Structure 1
Amino acid sequence: MILVTGATGNYGKATIDFLLKKGISANSISALVRDVAKAEDLKTKGINLKIGDYDNYASLVEAFKGVDKLLLVSGSDVVNRGKQQENAVKAAKEAGVKHILYTSFERKNDTETSPIAFLAKSHIDTENQIKVSGMTYTILKNNLYLDALPMFFGEQVLTTGIFLPAGDTKSAFALRNDMAEATANILTSQGHENKEYSLSNIENTSIQEIAQDLSEIVGKQINYVSPPQDIYVETLTGAGVPTEYVGMFAGFAEAIKQGEFSTEKTDLENLLGRKPMTAKAFLKEVYTSK
């Protein structure tokens, strides 16, 4: 039995769809959900729904019973994620889960000096808890999603250009769906025991290069400005962007600038058995309809 947490989210749902496409029967897949009403589409596909809440340890132990492989998709509650995922790892161990996979993140700086330390700590803590649990594990070090770039650029990017303090450093941004497919491939094959994989693109690209590609795609000049951090924060705050989003955008931009997401090694192509989607192809898909 394979169980996927975060099954109503984008990553979990996509992984389940890829499992089905690969011929895994629906009754061999379980989905951890808090609210059955939000999982009607999964129920329609024949997926087993397991009710569980990261804050309710007993519910997790019950949900994880009989599970061979558990995909722990990192939670979205950044404030409480560390404790919640600790509960999930301990519950998996108690329930007898044989193999746990965890969606972590690509990085170079594990210290508190990281510009995204506010997000990193829970990931690193969860990785460590999994490794000392005694369970067989696979750690997926996911790069920053290509899917996140339009959010960083803003809805008016084709009019205003890209305003982001990310410098000229290149990153190996990758498509979330490519990562989900690679995850499904790991779940349905052997030889991944106690390994860590880098799920990054095979090419590194800068935001300046992305602006050039976008200009070519839409047939007009899209300028890229990389302002100082304080000017960026001041500008977004003045535009009414919520403080927590300003901090997140600024942190990720600085992480890009510091090279946190650049990599010379990736396992994504091998795990997919094909080349992952390029940044340019993604931009074409997103912006040609606008």
Structure 2
Amino acid sequence: MILVTGATGYFGKLTIDFLLSKGIKASQIAALVRNAEKATDLSKKGLKICIGDYNDYPSLIKAFSGIDKLLFVSGTDLANRTSQHEQVLKAAMAAGIRHVIYTSGEAKTEGPDSPLWTFTEAHVKTEKWLKESGLTYTILKNSLYLEYIPYFIGNVLETGMIYLPAGNGKISAALRSEMAEATAVILATEGHENKSYHFVNSEAYGYEDVARYITEITGKTINYISPTEEEFRATLQQQGIAIPEEYIAIILAQARGDGEIVSDDMEKLIGRKLTPMKAFLQGVYQRG
């Protein structure tokens, strides 16, 4: 039995759909959710619905009973997810789960001096705990989703520019759907025990590339301007724009080159080339 956590989120739902398309029977898949009402579509597909919360250890023990493979989707509560993850792993060990597949994060720099430490601290500790736990594990080091790029660059067709303090840094962002498909391959097959995979694109892109691609796609000239962090924050303040601090951290990490890791791991898993940046942007900005 495979249990997918975060089953009502985008990534969890996509992974379940890919599992079903790859021939895994619905009766062999369980979905961990906090609210049964939000899982009616999953229930209609024939999945077993388990109610559980990363903050509720007894609920995890109950949900994990009889599970062979656990897709452990990392929590989104940044302030509490390190302690949540510790509970999930303790429950997995207590319930006798055979194999844990964990969605971690990809970054060149992993330490308190990284702008991404707010994100990566839980990942670094969870990976360490997994490797020390005696559980069979597979670690998926996920990059930024390509789908986030339009949010980072804003309404460029109106402003005519991308204004971000990312310097010449590049990012090997990949489609969330392709990450979910590769995850489903790992869940549905053997041979992934005690391995780590880089869930990143096979090419890294800078915002100069993004500006050029959108220019080519739309015919509207888009320029990339990279201010200093101080200039960027001052501009946001002057314009009354509020951007979550964690988004700024991602951009600053890109400027340092933390997002430039590339790999063909996902391509080998899904058996084809990954969607490149320009093809993704074509779908977003193509003129009607």
Same fold (TM over 0.5): yes
Of residues 259, 267, 270, the one that matches 2:268 is 270
Does 124-133 or 64-73 show the bigger shift?
124-133
Aligned to 2:45: 45
Alpha-carbon distance in structure 2 between the residues aligned to 1:92 and 1:241: 43
Contact 2:218 2:287 in 1 (8 A): no
Contact 1:197 1:266 in 2 (8 A): no
1:13 aligns with 2:13: yes
Does 29-38 or 160-169 show the bigger shift?
160-169
Q: Encode CA deviations 1:82-135: one digit per residue, 9 max, x unaligned.
A: 111111111011001000011111111111110111111011111111111111
Aligned to 2:219: 219
Q: Give 3-state SS (helix, strand or coil) of 1:111's partner.
A: coil
Across the two proteins, how many residue pairs are aligned to each other? 287
1:93 aligns with 2:93: yes
Give the alignment's Cα RMSD to 1 decimal.
1.3
Q: CA deviation at 1:289?
A: 6.0
Aligned to 2:81: 81
Aligned to 1:138: 138
Aligned to 2:157: 158
Q: CA deviation at 1:167?
A: 1.0
Aligned to 1:178: 178
Contact 1:232 1:250 in 2 (8 A): no
Alpha-carbon distance in structure 2 between the residues aligned to 1:169 and 1:41: 41
Q: CA deviation at 1:140?
A: 0.3
Contact 2:201 2:262 in 1 (8 A): no
Q: CA deviation at 1:162?
A: 1.1
Note the residue ranges of structure 2 that are not aligned, 5 or more in a row: none
**Structure 2: which amino acid aligns with 1:276?**
L
Q: Give 3-state SS (helix, strand or coil) of 1:224's partner.
A: strand
Q: Give 3-state SS (helix, strand or coil) of 1:263's partner.
A: coil
Q: CA deviation at 1:238?
A: 3.6
Aligned to 2:23: 23
**Structure 2: which amino acid aligns with 1:118?**
T
1:103 aligns with 2:92: no
**Structure 2: which amino acid aligns with 1:227?**
P
Of residues 275, 278, 281, the one that matches 2:279 is 281
Alpha-carbon distance in structure 2 between the residues aligned to 1:241 and 1:227: 16
Q: CA deviation at 1:171?
A: 2.1
Q: CA deviation at 1:168?
A: 1.5
Alpha-carbon distance in structure 1 between the residues aligned to 2:171 and 2:8: 28
Aligned to 2:120: 120
Q: Give 3-state SS (helix, strand or coil) of 2:284's partner.
A: helix
Alpha-carbon distance in structure 2 between the residues aligned to 1:254 and 1:202: 22
Percent pairwise identity:
49
Q: CA deviation at 1:241?
A: 3.6
Q: CA deviation at 1:187?
A: 0.5
Q: Give 3-state SS (helix, strand or coil) of 2:171's partner.
A: coil
**Structure 2: which amino acid aligns with 1:278?**
P
Does 38-47 or 172-181 show the bigger shift?
38-47
Contact 2:200 2:262 in 1 (8 A): no
**Structure 2: which amino acid aligns with 1:263?**
I
**Structure 2: which amino acid aligns with 1:159?**
E
Contact 2:199 2:263 in 1 (8 A): no
Q: CA deviation at 1:236?
A: 2.2
**Structure 2: which amino acid aligns with 1:158?**
L
**Structure 1: which amino acid aligns with 2:197?**
Y
Aligned to 1:189: 189
Contact 2:32 2:49 in 1 (8 A): yes
Contact 1:233 1:250 in 2 (8 A): no
Q: Give 3-state SS (helix, strand or coil) of 2:221's partner.
A: coil
